Structure 1
Amino acid sequence: MAAVGYVRVSSVDQNLARQLEGMKLDRVFEDKVSGKDTKRPALQEMLLYVREGDTLHVHSIDRLARNLVDLRKLVETLNSKGVIVTFHKEALTFSPDQSNPMSVLMLNMMGAFAEFERSMIRERQREGIAAAKAQGKTTGRPNALTTVQAAIIRERAFAGESKTKLASEYSVTRSTVYAVLNNCSERDI
């Protein structure tokens, strides 16, 4: 019977320290990725690791899943393996041998709120991008090459120079060089 922890933050620069701080755990699985789905390396590893009689400790419901379907499926999967799931912030525990209707209701409500919050974040992000574009600001990653550099690379590549050499000279990847070559029209040649 192991005490297992699962902690998650959405990006690499965020800190995991406050989650499950001070708890004595046998093993902790850490993800630094979005909770939008269950395709997370540490989550998948944890699901394979836990055994009957283990207790999974999670700081809060939204750390385990950001949508209600995934949340319910994860808790059900863990319980079917004989694993107890405890959410500390919400003070909810789900065990395989008992089903508390109030806990199930709270899980569904909190999961729905987490899903709603994620939808609102995505909507605000789309609005921000649209507003930036309306103001004429560019969004996304900046181009690796200027238009002049791209033209020179095209000219030299079509003259027979090595694409690997050109990529190295301009400090870009070969795929960037090929993208420059693929994005030119007949009149550019």
Structure 2
Amino acid sequence: MADVGYIRVSSVEQNTARQLDGVALDRTFEDKASGATTNRPKLQEMLEYVREGDTIHVHSIDRLARSLPDLLEMVSNLKARKVNVQFHKENLLFTSEVNHTQDLMLSMMGAVAQFERAISKERQREGIEKAKAAGAYKGRKKAVDNDSIREAMAVEGASFRKVAAALGVSVSSVQRAMKEIAACS
């Protein structure tokens, strides 16, 4: 029976030190990715690693999932596999035993986490709109300028995929640049 830690922050710049500080763990899995999806490499690795009788330790509910359906499904699947889940901030432990009160708490706390994420995204969107209106927001800087893409596309036999791979950008970036170039011509 292993004590397994799962730590998540949304970006590389964020510090993980406060999560599970002082908790004795046999193994830790750490993601630096958004909690909006369960498609996170270390989360998936941890879910494959844990076995019956193990306990997963998570700092808080929103570190595991920001979507209520994802959270409920994940905890339910773990409980069915007889893997315990301990949320330290909320002081909640989920085991394979039926406990309707804890199931209710998980649903409520998960709903709060999902709501907080929605409000945060809404504020961000409003801030961007105001900054755009004031001319202060220009969007993310392009990784490669349109001239470089045009030159790469001029090579005989060049395709969107080949140019994207050569320049280290996405195919959609090449397509968008070519549309902008065509519109300016």
TM-score of the superposed pair, with normalisation by structure 1: 0.80
The AA in structure 1 aligned to 2:116 is E
Q: Secondary structure at the match of 2:181?
A: coil
Corresponding residue number in structure 1 for 2:103: 104
> Alpha carbons of 1:53 and 1:128: their partners in 2 closer, same or farther (altered >3 Å)?
same
Corresponding residue number in structure 1 for 2:181: 184
1:98-177 to 2 correspondence within 5 Å?
A: 98-143=97-142, 150=147, 173=167
Shift of 1:143: 4.0
- Cα distance in 1 between the residues matched to 2:23 and 2:17: 11
Corresponding residue number in structure 1 for 2:10: 10
Shift of 1:99: 2.0
> Alpha carbons of 1:177 and 1:32: their partners in 2 closer, same or farther (altered >3 Å)?
closer
Structure 1 stretches of 5 or more lacking a match? 164-171
Shift of 1:37: 1.2
Shift of 1:153: 8.0
- Cα distance in 1 between the residues matched to 2:138 and 2:92: 42
- Cα distance in 1 between the residues matched to 2:21 and 2:119: 29
Shift of 1:179: 6.0
Shift of 1:139: 2.9
TM-score of the superposed pair, with normalisation by structure 2: 0.82
> Alpha carbons of 1:84 and 1:131: their partners in 2 closer, same or farther (altered >3 Å)?
same
> Alpha carbons of 1:144 and 1:39: their partners in 2 closer, same or farther (altered >3 Å)?
closer
- Cα distance in 2 between the residues matched to 1:153 and 1:108: 49
Select the structure of larger CA radius of gyration. Answer: 1
Structure 2 stretches of 5 or more lacking a match? 159-165
Task: Check conservation: 2:59, 2:88, Cα contact below 8 A.
Answer: yes
